[in-house]
């Protein structure tokens, strides 16, 4: 491994990371000696649609591709800039490197997010839940919606004999019987 190599961040259009990576690999002979490694972390997420769980793969950091480059040159910058779906570099017109430690910190944060999400119980529409903290503590309800991005549930609770839809965080609810 080249000890003078540095990591650079390329901004690409979100959702087009794999196209960019594929384009780099197709033109490998032009960049083979310069680009040593390519990182664009992915994560598997469970999506609930029509009461069915489906596992999908998505980018952990959409729009960012990390390149380990042995020697940055104007020719390489132009080549990368001219590749489809590239919108720029960290540092603007003259790309700024980031350290190996910054890359490791980013990878560790992605990993800890995965571990944190794995620790959260899976809720599905129709699940019975009890509210364990907050204004509705002690109430029982039925899950009507699940928002994984915001880590919230829409739960129907019976309050004074009326059905009310309330929003609670995953941490405020516990799966019931």
The alpha helices in the chain, defined as continuous H runs, are 17-26, 28-31, 74-81, 100-119
What pLDDT is attached to residue 114?
64
The pLDDT of residue 108: 82
Residue owning tokens 């890359």? 103
- Sign for the pseudo-dihedral over CA of 104, 106, 111, 112: positive
Q: Report the pLDDT value the prediction gives residue 13, as an integer from 0 to 100.
A: 92
Check residue 117 and give its pLDDT.
58
Q: If 0-12 CB within 10 Å is exposed, 13-18 middle and 19+ buried, where does residue 78 land? A: exposed
pTM over 0.85: no
Give residues with Cβ within 8 angstroms of 91, minimum separation 6.
Answer: none
Residue 142, pLDDT score: 93
What is the CATH architecture assignment of 128-175? Roll (2.30)
Measured over the CA atoms of residue 117, residue 45, residue 11 and residue 22, the dihedral's sign is positive
pLDDT at residue number 120: 60
Is it true that domain 6-119 has CATH number 3.40.50.150? Answer: no
For residue 50, the model assigns a pLDDT of 59
* pLDDT tens, the chain, 177 aa long: 456 788 999 999 998 889 888 888 887 676 656 777 888 888 776 665 655 666 777 787 888 899 888 888 888 888 888 888 888 888 787 888 888 888 888 888 777 766 555 556 678 888 899 988 888 889 999 999 988 777 789 999 988 889 999 999 888 888 876
Question: What is d(CA 19, CA 64) in angstroms, rounded to the nearest whole number?
Answer: 12
CA distance 140 to 173: 9
Q: Which regions of the chain carry the CATH code 2.30.30.30?
A: 128-175
Q: What is the DSSP string of 51-84?
A: TEEEEEEEESSTTEEEEEESS--HHHHHHHHTST
The predicted pLDDT at position 144 comes to 93
CATH 3.30.70.940 intervals, the chain: 6-119
| Residue 75 three-state SS | helix
């Amino acid at each position: 491994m080249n000890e003078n190599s540095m990591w650079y961040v390329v901004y690409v259009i979100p959702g087009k990371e794999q196209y960019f990576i594929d384009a780099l690999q197709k033109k490998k002979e032009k960049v083979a000696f310069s680009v040593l490694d390519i990182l664009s972390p992915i994560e598997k997420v469970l999506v609930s649609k029509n009461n069915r769980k489906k596992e999908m793969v998505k980018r952990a950091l959409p729009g960012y591709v990390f390149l380990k480059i042995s020697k940055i040159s104007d020719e390489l910058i132009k080549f990368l800039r001219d590749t489809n779906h590239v919108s720029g570099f960290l540092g603007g017109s003259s790309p700024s490197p980031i350290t190996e430690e910054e890359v490791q910190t980013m990878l560790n944060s992605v990993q800890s997010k995965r571990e944190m999400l794995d620790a959260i119980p899976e809720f599905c529409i129709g699940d019975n839940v009890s509210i364990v903290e907050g204004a509705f503590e002690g109430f029982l309800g039925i899950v009507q919606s699940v928002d994984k991005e915001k880590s919230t549930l829409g739960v129907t609770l019976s309050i004074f004999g009326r059905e009310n839809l309330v929003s609670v965080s995953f941490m405020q609810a516990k799966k019931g019987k």
